[in-house]
Amino acid sequence: MNKSNQDFLPFALPEIGEEEIAEVVNALRSGWVTTGPKARQFEADFVSFLGGGVEAVAVNSATAGLHLGLEALGVGPGDEVITTTHTFTATAEIIRYLGADPVFVDVDADTLCIDVAAVEAAITPRTKAIIPVHFAGRSADMDALLAVARKHDLRVMEDAAHALPTTCSGKMIGTLDSDVTVFSFYANKTITTGEGGMLVTRNPEIAKRARVMRLHGINRDAFDRFTAKTPSWYYEIVAPGFKYNMTDIAASMGVHQLKKAHVFQQKRARVAALYDEALASLPVIRPPHAGAGDVHSWHLYVIQLDNSVAVQRDQFVERMFNQGIGCSVHYIPLHLHPYWRDTYHLTPEMFPVSQRIYERTLSLPMYSRMTEADVVRVVEAVKVALK
């Protein structure tokens, strides 16, 4: 029986407090609503959150950050960039923005992150960079991947849209030895600014290039021009840039969301633990945890239906929806989408792990506001859907 909309338990919900609301109101009343003091504060706070030693550039989406990062790395026509098929299209489309070609590889069955051995096997003389994806909030094997990159003199940009505050070998994602890391603050991410992202790098030249290119290739931003001790209308266009800046309204949310990032992670980890316990006796494969001593951000809680389950994944999701439970699928692999499939002649047989995972996988509701009663309701719905 269908539940009413009032009873529907969504797949994801942001947790926004009075602090965020007050900061947004403050920005609105200040008269400075585009990129300005709040965005700069958010960038500075983000650097402090990661522990210093990096620069942060606030942008209007993680897609924008990935595009800026790859552009700053010098990727262009004729180059190849290796990434995973098991991701959202943004990870690959930014490669095409620059006229380069993505080379897709499979994922590791144990981690659901990019297969490092497959990465090394895919390297050609045209390969310029690698984009690993930290799937669902678990880190990819960055130690091995960075070793491969060093061996072949390749650049690495981490797609960390799911990975705040994930750690790898005890280090927070964003502080590793990769060239660029990009985080997402989309509405359903671990912290949110509604829309937004952050490019992080240890390389000051990459940061400088990203700042110029995020706003039309202008060598001075508006906040500099109109708030300096000697205001100047003069600026120069030094490159054909983009329109990727984050507004102060969005950054106002980010300042306070960031302060709660660890608390939010602890809440989601608690939900994951409740799921793990309740689903242990059911014919589903629970998601991989972080490596020993590391932090999983638990952006997603992804289960796979066991081969013994007769119900198909699509029917399972429909049964969950009919019980008032929102679910999703992460992801429809890129090799199945018409553009990527037809342009690069991709087939499911080329990516057996990703294909198998896709056919049997769904994501259960996961967000910091979930209660124990919510988890119980989801699990009971899973039991019904499995029958």
Residues 6+ apart with CB under 8 A from 230: none
Between strands 55-59 and 197-201, the pairing is antiparallel
Contact 113, 136 (CB under 8 A): no
Residue 347 to residue 154: CA distance in whole angstroms: 27
Identify the residue with better confidence: 148 or 219: 148
For the cut 70, the answer to whether the pLDDT of residue 223 exceeds it is no
The radius of gyration computed from the CA coordinates of the chain, to the nearest angstrom, equals: 21
- In whole angstroms, how far apart are CA 78 and each of 13, 87, 98, 103, 215? 42, 23, 10, 12, 26
Return the pLDDT at 225: 55
**Angle at CA 69, nearest 5°, toward 251 and 345?**
120
- In whole angstroms, how far apart are CA 200 and each of 104, 211, 230, 240, 384? 24, 11, 30, 22, 44
Return the pLDDT at 1: 43
User: Once rounded to an integer, what is the mean pLDDT over residues 352-363?
Assistant: 98
Return the pLDDT at 220: 77
User: What is the value of pTM for the model shown?
Assistant: 0.96
For the cut 70, the answer to whether the pLDDT of residue 69 exceeds it is yes
For the chain, percent of residues with pLDDT exceeding 90: 93
Return the pLDDT at 214: 97
pLDDT tens per residue across span 259-308: 999 999 999 999 999 999 999 999 999 999 999 999 999 999 999 999 99
Give the residue among 22, 68, 56, 2 at the shortest CA–CA distance from 325. 2
Residue 36 to residue 39: CA distance in whole angstroms: 6
Give the DSSP per-residue string, 41-73.
HHHHHHHHHHTSSSEEEEES-HHHHHHHHHHHT
User: Once rounded to an integer, what is the mean pLDDT over residues 197-217?
Assistant: 97
For the cut 80, the answer to whether the pLDDT of residue 226 exceeds it is no
- In whole angstroms, how far apart are CA 228 and each of 14, 58, 77, 223, 368? 37, 21, 39, 8, 41
> pLDDT-based confidence at 235, cuts 50/70/90?
confident
For residue 311, which amino acid is it? V
For the cut 50, the answer to whether the pLDDT of residue 233 exceeds it is yes
Return the pLDDT at 222: 56
Domains belonging to the chain, first-starting first, are 18-259 (3.40.640.10), 261-386 (3.90.1150.10)
Q: How many CA atoms lie within 13 A of 253 on its CB side?
A: 19
User: Once rounded to an integer, what is the mean pLDDT over residues 318-324?
Assistant: 98
pLDDT tens per residue across span 81-131: 999 999 999 999 999 999 999 999 999 999 999 999 999 999 999 999 999
Distance, first Cα to last Cα, the chain? 15
Return the pLDDT at 277: 98
Q: Which residues are catalytic?
A: 189
User: Once rounded to an integer, what is the mean pLDDT over residues 367-378?
Assistant: 98
For 326, counting Cβ atoms within 10 Å of its Cβ (0-12 exposed, 13-18 middle, 19+ buried), the class is middle
Residue 92 to residue 78: CA distance in whole angstroms: 15
pLDDT tens per residue across span 168-194: 999 999 999 999 999 999 999 999 999
**Average pLDDT for the chain:** 95
Contact 73, 179 (CB under 8 A): yes
Return the pLDDT at 3: 47
Return the pLDDT at 232: 73
Contact 140, 113 (CB under 8 A): yes
